[in-house]
Amino acid sequence: MFQRHFFSALAGLTLLAGAAAPATAQGSRSLDTIRARGELVCGTSPDLPGFAFLNEKGEFAGLYIDFCKALGAAILGDAKKVRYVPTTYANRLTALQSGEIDLLSSNTTWTMPREASLGLQFTGVLFYDGQGFLVSKKLGVKTPRDLDGASVCVQPGTTTEKNLADYFRANGMKLNPVIIESVEEIRNALTAGRCDAFTVGTSTLAAFREGLGGRKDEYVVLPDLISKEPLGPVVRKGDERFFDVVRWTQNAMILAEEFGIDSGNVEARMKDTQPDVQRLLGTTDDFGAMLGLKRDWAVQVIRQVGNLREVWDRHVAPMGLPRGRNALYTEGGLNYAPPIR
């Protein structure tokens, strides 16, 4: 009897030990496709200075673009192996659903319906935003409540459009929406006086204002926000391994900033004796294998693209946007990455 119970218990412990053993990387249709293709296909915006736009050289640049480059470095070992597909507010989600793009890295708000009913999944928050208003200084508007009866430019098919209607209705204000999809057309409508204001996330408003060139000082972004707009990369549901890679690439960039590791010192930090640093850089443990990536995947991301602060300073800071809630949690912001261990 004792022998039987002993061996039963031993078998149970063996099963538990097997369950607790380190997991190996599962297969990923998306990763297999990207590797066979030799490039990551990233859907993004072409007209958001600082975030995703075509620069004077005709190259895509910005915060969202650098994140795609980071994924290219993590998956393929080369940040240049990314193809960018310009998307609009109207077609961006269908382009992802159809498989035209591997992921969407743009000004896309994380909402429940987009995850619960569209077969899509947000991997994290790349930019903590909120919806605001850009107005001409000569109107003398100080807060959104001063816009009662105003004509407001807004893009169709966005959370922005619904937020705008909700805000005016909740405050008993009259709204005259001017529905325009093209950013260039909105710019023309605003400067021509057809719209009293333009509403969208403050990141887009800052980029839009930069695009006004010599006239940008005639306009101001109101300080009040009317919504929460967590913006982040989006992938299709059903490929957990690819989801993990996208999420942990962002986490690696956050952790690198937290540990003071950047593109300029990553080589020297490979000799660091701090366990958290060693695990991130793969010098003591191969956590990359769990993601189906090479051991030095995070090193490639940091070396070729940089940490989160480097990306911010490269693209967003020059526009005068304070980091605020997009800073690390240690600096009063919301960026907080789980540990690699």
| Average pLDDT score over residue span 170-182 | 94
Task: For residue range 16-25, list pLDDT tens digits in order.
Answer: 333 333 344 5
Which pLDDT band holds residue 96 (cuts at 50, 70, 90)?
A: very high
Strands 120-122, 234-236: pairing kind:
antiparallel
For the chain, give the percent of residues with pLDDT over 70: 92
In this prediction, residue 115 carries a pLDDT of: 95
In this prediction, residue 26 carries a pLDDT of: 66
Single pTM value for the model = 0.83
Which of 114, 72, 77 is CA-nearest to residue 93? 114
CB 222 within 8 A of CB 132: yes
> Does the structure show a pLDDT above 90 at 321?
no
Task: For residue range 204-220, list pLDDT tens digits in order.
Answer: 888 888 888 889 899 99
The rounded distance, in Å, linking the Cα atoms of 142 and 140 is 6
In the predicted model, what is the mean pLDDT of the chain?
90
CB 257 within 8 A of CB 313: no
In this prediction, residue 184 carries a pLDDT of: 85
The per-residue DSSP string of 262-277 comes to -TTTHHHHTT---HHH
Tokens of 156: 């169709």
Residues counted in the chain: 341
Tell me 244's DSSP state: H
What one-letter code names the amino acid at 20? A
The residue ranking higher by pLDDT, 157 or 256, is: 256
